[in-house]
């Protein structure tokens, strides 16, 4: 008595225009009276995009706009032709999201069960689910831990698990909000390599500037505005100048 969609993965047929990227049109956001983001007009099509800025500058809010976790109080966010305000389910299938704290993202007691969770939501049949879970676990070095309790994993393994749980859903784009902040150097490097190897478009919010090596485009957010939009070299330089003046 489970009700499943006959097909599994999000069909690209739902999508108006898969290659269009993420567009922000006149986007602003406020929490109550407090303006957190304002006047953002961008089109994000590059495969590797970084977002940097001071604490509280609005980066996480910006990131959450991209998959409809936050709907802007002004303007529109359009993902491949889908409006996050009206087509949020389809948007979330297109855009995966990885958070900073893996503990808050792992919702099932064991590794394989957790990875299967998103697929279950999408109505993927059990056989296909098991196969895709196994494949992802193998790819990210968790194959030996399929039946392990999630809370016994190391911090680095937990973050890999959280990422696997998103990638198994095969999103076309993935947003990461400070994915390496809680990790030691070795695990941070592993996550950085994993991100570098993804075929998806990625948008990474980070305070760890070396994560941006090889990126195509970096946005510097300050006071809720994008104050610099450039390749990593000039963008990081601008960010340092900005911070030096504080």
Partner 1 sequence: MTLALYVPRASVVHRLPAGVKLLALAALAVLLFARPTLTVAGAALLGTMAVGLGVARLPVAVLARQALAVRWWLAALFVVHALTTDVPTGTHTVLRLLTLVLAAAVVTATTRVTEMTAVVQRICGPLRLVGVRPERVGLAITMALRFIPVLIERADRIRAAQAARGGSPRGVRALRTTVAPLLVQVLQMAHDVSEALDARGADDVPVRRSRRV
Ligand X SMILES: Nc1ncnc2c1ncn2[C@@H]1O[C@H](COP(=O)(O)OP(=O)(O)OP(=O)(O)O)[C@@H](O)[C@H]1O
Which residues here bind partner 1, judged by CB under 8 A? 1-6, 64, 67, 69, 89, 92-93, 96-97, 99, 101, 103-110, 113-114, 116-118, 121-123, 146-147, 149-152, 165-166, 169
Q: Decide which of ligand X, Mg ion, partner 1, none touches 238; Cβ closer than 5 to 8 Å per partner kind.
A: none
Structure tokens given for 15: 């999508």
Residue 57 contact among partner 1, Mg ion, ligand X, none, beta carbon within 5 to 8 Å by kind: ligand X
Residue 92 tokens read as 């979330």
Q: Which stretches within 197-246 are classed as H helix?
A: 232-244
Instruction: Show the tokens assigned to 10.
Output: 């999000």
Q: Which is nearer to Mg ion, 95 or 205 (CB)?
A: 205
The span of 12-20, 57-65, 143-151, 222-230 binding Mg ion (CB under 5 A) equals: 57-65
> Would you say 179 and 206 are in contact if contact means Cβ atoms under 8 Å apart?
yes
Residue whose CB is less far from Mg ion, 58 or 156: 58
Cβ-contact 104, 177 below 8 angstroms: no
Least distance to partner 1, CB of residue 246, Å: 27
Instruction: Indicate the angle between helix axes 126-139 and 111-121, nearest 10 degrees.
Output: 130
Q: By rule CB under 6 A, what string of x and - marks binding of each residue 7-36 to ligand X?
A: ------------------------x----x
Beta carbon nearer to Mg ion, 87 or 159:
159
CB 76 within 8 A of CB 85: yes
Contacts with 211 (C-beta within 8 Å, 6 or more apart), sequence order: 50, 180, 188, 192, 195, 204
The neighbour count for residue 220, using CB atoms within 10 Å, is: 26
Residue 57 found at the interface with Mg ion (CB under 5 A): no
Provide, rounded to whole angstroms, the least separation between the CB of residue 110 and ligand X.
30
What one-character DSSP code corresponds to residue 143?
A: G
User: Residue 156 interacts with ligand X (CB under 6 A)?
Assistant: no
Site for ligand X in 37-66 (CB under 6 A): 53, 55-61
Residues that bind ligand X (CB under 6 A): 31, 36, 53, 55-61
């Amino acid at each position: 008595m489970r009700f499943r969609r006959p097909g599994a993965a999000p069909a690209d047929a739902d999508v108006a225009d898969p290659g269009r990227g993420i567009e922000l049109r006149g986007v602003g956001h406020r929490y109550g009276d407090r303006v957190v983001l304002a006047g953002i007009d961008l089109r994000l099509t590059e495969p590797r995009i970084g977002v940097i800025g001071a604490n509280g500058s609005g980066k996480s809010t910006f990131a959450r706009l991209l998959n409809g976790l936050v709907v802007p109080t002004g303007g529109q966010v359009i993902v491949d032709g889908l409006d996050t305000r009206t087509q949020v389910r389809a948007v979330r299938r297109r855009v995966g999201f990885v958070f900073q704290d893996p503990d808050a993202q792992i919702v099932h007691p064991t590794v394989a069960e957790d990875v299967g969770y998103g697929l279950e939501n999408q109505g993927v049949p059990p056989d296909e689910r098991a196969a895709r879970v196994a494949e992802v676990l193998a790819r990210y070095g968790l194959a030996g831990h399929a039946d392990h309790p999630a809370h016994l994993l190391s911090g680095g393994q937990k973050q890999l698990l959280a990422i696997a749980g998103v990638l198994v859903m095969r999103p076309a784009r993935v947003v990461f909000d400070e994915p390496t902040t809680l990790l030691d150097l070795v695990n941070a490097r592993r996550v950085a390599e994993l991100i570098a190897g993804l075929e998806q478009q990625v948008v990474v919010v980070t305070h760890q500037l070396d994560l941006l090596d090889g990126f195509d485009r970096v946005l510097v957010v300050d006071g809720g505005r994008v104050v610099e939009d450039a390749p990593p070299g000039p963008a990081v330089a601008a960010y340092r100048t900005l911070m030096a003046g504080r």
